[in-house]
Structure 1
Amino acid sequence: MTHRSVAVNGLRLHLAEAGDGPLVLLLHGFPECWYSWRHQLTALAAAGFHAVALDQRGVARSERPTQVEAYSILHLVGDVTGVLDALGEERAALVGHDWGAYVAWHVAKMRPDRVRGIVGLSVPHQPRGIEPPMTTFRKHFGDGFYMSYFLQPGPADEELARDRHRTFRLLLRGGSPGKPRAAHRSAQVMAQDGTLLGSYPEPSALPNWLTSHDIDVFAAEFADGFTGGLNWYRNLDRNWELTSAWHNAPVQPSALYIVGDQDRILLWPDAEEHITTMREHVPNLRDVIRIPDVGHWTQQEAPHVVNTALVDFLRSL
């Protein structure tokens, strides 16, 4: 595995890469970074692909614009196409998890000419709604929904950065199976003390897919804080406004969707409906794979299952 930075849209963006062959661009979620793809980088390289994990703008080793408005979906999509240009590639297969899936679906919708195929992990394709997303979330979860907390600059930034090891220990363990679905739902809202992390109990032990070394790496990668990633959330309603031209536009490239059956995303408004009707908006959807006893951190919790599915799909393109 090698590391380098490339100039994209006036920023330096960090890439971790391995292998040679057709390009596969890996897009992380929040709070994640290139290290979230540690199991996929080597597996895809061994299967004959050029695997590249991007630190998206504002995260880990990539540069951080100061303006909140600089983290809109148009900027994030532009960064993906800019990375392809920097690598001298006309097209790539995209694999995205969590927020990275949100970005990947939008790249496939807005620039299908640059996409060979797309794999969404955790977050399914969701057609643009009839109202801003935060309006829908507040109706479903109430004012205590964690994304509402993220929208205000300052409190969430400070809480998550106060003890980065604790932040990753609680959030990564909290998204993994091992507690009832009702408890997963309660973790969508703030604790009584007004904090996010207060809604997650301190784990007695880490799950078998997560080590103390992994926690150390994540904590080190986020030494400069979480504000860049939080700014993605602060553009959710702005993204809804900016994407009006793509309302009901289909995702045309071949696609695959993978989700753990214990993923908290399945508790979101209309999530199951979005999955069952996805083919209406993603006409070339190959399959929906549900992984038993896997939570939100899909490719980290079940790397063998995910890697096998990725290689089979990518070789079929």
Structure 2
Amino acid sequence: MPSTRSVRLNGLDIHLAEQGSSTDPLVVLLHGFPETSYSWRHQLDALAAAGYRVVAPDQRGYGASDRPAAIDQYSIFHLVGDVVALIRELGSEQAVVVGHDWGSIVAWNTALLRPDVVRGVVGISVPPWPRGALPPLTVTEQRFGPDFYQNYFQEPGVADAELEKDIASTLRRVYAGVPDPDPAPGFAGRFLEPTQLPAWLTEQDLAVFVDQFTASGFTGGLNYYRNLDRNWEQTAAWQDAPITPPSLYISGLDDAVRTMYPLDDAARAVVPNLRAAIDVPNCGHWTQQEQPAVVNAALLDFLREL
């Protein structure tokens, strides 16, 4: 069973779940939106049993970790800085960094900005994004319209209030992910209230997430999106820079992210040491929770090859 504690990183208390011996090779698991370290519950046991030290933090703004008030405290440099500080705090020189959804963006950028501390990098759902010629929110508005969720998230307080109005309903809708043919305004309103939870999510699991977001709210996680254009502006120096550590990409075949951000030739060019791109059948967006056995096997294969 994993143990939990908080560590002090970059002036913040960051809560984490960890399992395995402190002398084993370190693997850091980074969750996405709207999730927490609990989304890795199926990976902690499996990876620790295979001889790895596995650590899953609640990233800043989430769960039991601190939530800075200022939006600019959630830039990609802050998020990568937390990962590097965590690796150092745990007494390691390097780690394999694994991310899902927004955690993938943080993982890819940690490997880009600090390849010296990354033995290997795994992105789940979200592939590496080449830095484009235009700010990301300009691109999403052009491609998907002004109501695209990433653009909708920009106005402070708006999506926050919508998602927090009924947190249990928000998470049921988002996790089940059944599109509403007559969607209501907002983000959660795009999805139907499910008649039952998806098979991968128990009522007990949902209750954990509901309790966590009741305590934290959604603002911290939304602030990641509110830095998309700032991140683009501030990473100009890394234009066309490759992500050099050995890498792995895992994606559910039914994940809508594949249509928005495919692992196309441009994305593959960013990861010259991509070992494999694994398609997971019968799997949507919540990859490591939906198909843990497949994800665990892929992670262990990758780790052993390192």
Q: Give the length in aligned residue pairs.
A: 302
Q: 1:204, CA displacement in angstroms?
A: 1.6
- Give matches, 1:289-308, under 5 Å: 289-308=278-297
Residues in 2 aligned to 1:159 and 1:279: alpha-carbon distance in whole angstroms: 36
Aligned to 1:84: 87
Q: 1:275, CA displacement in angstroms?
A: 3.5
Residues in 2 aligned to 1:207 and 1:279: alpha-carbon distance in whole angstroms: 32
Is the deviation greater in 201-210 or in 246-255?
201-210
Q: 1:197, CA displacement in angstroms?
A: 1.7
Aligned to 2:38: 35
Aligned partner letter, 1:296 = H
- The answer on 1:311 being equivalent to 2:280 is no
* Per-residue deviation, residues 32-68 of structure 1 (Å, max 9, x unmatched): 1000000001110111100000111111110011100
- The answer on 1:196 being equivalent to 2:197 is no
Contact map agreement 1:259 1:290 (CA 8 A) in 2: yes
- Find 2:230's aligned residue among 226, 233, 238: 238
Aligned partner letter, 2:236 = S
Residues in 2 aligned to 1:192 and 1:293: alpha-carbon distance in whole angstroms: 25
Aligned to 1:25: 28
Residues in 2 aligned to 1:276 and 1:265: alpha-carbon distance in whole angstroms: 16
- The answer on 1:254 being equivalent to 2:246 is yes
Residues in 1 aligned to 2:161 and 2:205: alpha-carbon distance in whole angstroms: 22
Identity %: 54
Aligned partner letter, 2:79 = L
Residues in 2 aligned to 1:293 and 1:238: alpha-carbon distance in whole angstroms: 36
- Give matches, 1:108-123, under 5 Å: 108-123=111-126
Gaps of 5+ in 1: none
Aligned to 2:142: 139
Residues in 1 aligned to 2:270 and 2:192: alpha-carbon distance in whole angstroms: 38
Aligned to 2:276: 287
* Per-residue deviation, residues 135-158 of structure 1 (Å, max 9, x unmatched): 110011101111111111112111
Q: 1:88, CA displacement in angstroms?
A: 1.0
* Per-residue deviation, residues 115-142 of structure 1 (Å, max 9, x unmatched): 0001100000111011000111001110
Residues in 2 aligned to 1:126 and 1:228: alpha-carbon distance in whole angstroms: 22
- Find 2:207's aligned residue among 212, 216, 222: 216
SS at match of 2:264: helix
Q: 1:192, CA displacement in angstroms?
A: 5.5
Aligned to 2:128: 125
Is the deviation greater in 194-203 or in 120-129?
194-203
Q: 1:296, CA displacement in angstroms?
A: 0.4
Q: 1:277, CA displacement in angstroms?
A: 4.3
The TM-score normalised by the length of structure 1 is 0.93
Q: 1:278, CA displacement in angstroms?
A: 3.5
Aligned to 1:7: 8
Aligned to 2:175: 172
Residues in 1 aligned to 2:265 and 2:3: alpha-carbon distance in whole angstroms: 39
Q: 1:276, CA displacement in angstroms?
A: 4.2
- The answer on 1:98 being equivalent to 2:101 is yes
Contact map agreement 1:124 1:275 (CA 8 A) in 2: no
Q: 1:229, CA displacement in angstroms?
A: 0.4
Q: 1:195, CA displacement in angstroms?
A: 2.2
Is the deviation greater in 198-207 or in 114-123?
198-207
* Per-residue deviation, residues 77-105 of structure 1 (Å, max 9, x unmatched): 00000101111111000100000000000
* Per-residue deviation, residues 185-216 of structure 1 (Å, max 9, x unmatched): x89xxx75422222111112111111111110
Residues in 1 aligned to 2:97 and 2:190: alpha-carbon distance in whole angstroms: 33
Residues in 2 aligned to 1:198 and 1:94: alpha-carbon distance in whole angstroms: 33
Q: 1:222, CA displacement in angstroms?
A: 1.2
The TM-score normalised by the length of structure 2 is 0.96
SS at match of 1:151: coil
Gaps of 5+ in 2: none
* Per-residue deviation, residues 158-193 of structure 1 (Å, max 9, x unmatched): 11112111111110110xxxx6xxx5xx89xxx754
Residues in 2 aligned to 1:315 and 1:278: alpha-carbon distance in whole angstroms: 25
